[in-house]
Amino acid sequence: EPEVTQTPSHQVTQMGQEVILRCVPISNHLYFYWYRQILGQKVEFLVSFYNNEISEKSEIFDDQFSVERPDGSNFTLKIRSTKLEDSAMYFCASSAGLGYGYTFGSGTRLTVV
């Protein structure tokens, strides 16, 4: 069964540093998403991406965040200057279309120290 792959599984970074979280969505999917989950709590929407541009973003997704699909296969989330409160599990997801569910990756646990 096709999978969404996320790397790394765990990232530790110092406050103020930049991090890039990487995702390889399912190859024939068209819609891509980032969500985050703090300490096993609610899963929060960050951003959706379609046709090489952001289609929607939440208020969490401020200027320190950016997304990119650099080469047609990878989908990345960059956090420019990490803060302690950015510590969370970050999930990438992809979807074949609007009537379909999402397939989630296994997540990247980001720890900011």
Partner 1 sequence: AQSVAQPEDQVNVAEGNPLTVKCTYSVSGNPYLFWYVQYPNRGLQFLLKYITGDNLVKGSYGFEAEFNKSQTSFHLKKPSALVSDSALYFCAVRDRSSASKIIFGSGTRLSIRP
Q: Which residues contact 65 (CB under 8 A, 6 or more apart)?
A: 46, 47, 77, 78, 79, 80
Minimum Å gap between C-beta 67 and partner 1 is: 14
Which residue stretch of 12-20, 32-40, 63-71, 72-80 sits at the interface with partner 1 (rule: CB under 8 A)?
Answer: 32-40
C-alpha angle 38/64/107, rounded to 5°?
A: 35
Position 11 contacts partner 1 (CB under 8 A): no
Position 39 contacts partner 1 (CB under 8 A): no
Longest dimension (CA), the chain: 40
Residue whose structure tokens are 């985050």: 36
**Considering beta carbons, is residue 33 or 75 the nearer one to partner 1?**
33
**Considering beta carbons, is residue 15 or 38 the nearer one to partner 1?**
38
Minimum Å gap between C-beta 104 and partner 1 is: 4
DSSP SS3 for 85? helix
Site for partner 1 in 46-105 (CB under 8 A): 48, 50, 55-56, 91, 93, 98-99, 101-105
Identify the bridge partners of residue 98 per DSSP, sorted by sequence position: none
Cα end-to-end span (Å), the chain:
36
Using CB under 8 A, list all residues that contact partner 1: 33, 35, 40-45, 48, 50, 55-56, 91, 93, 98-99, 101-107
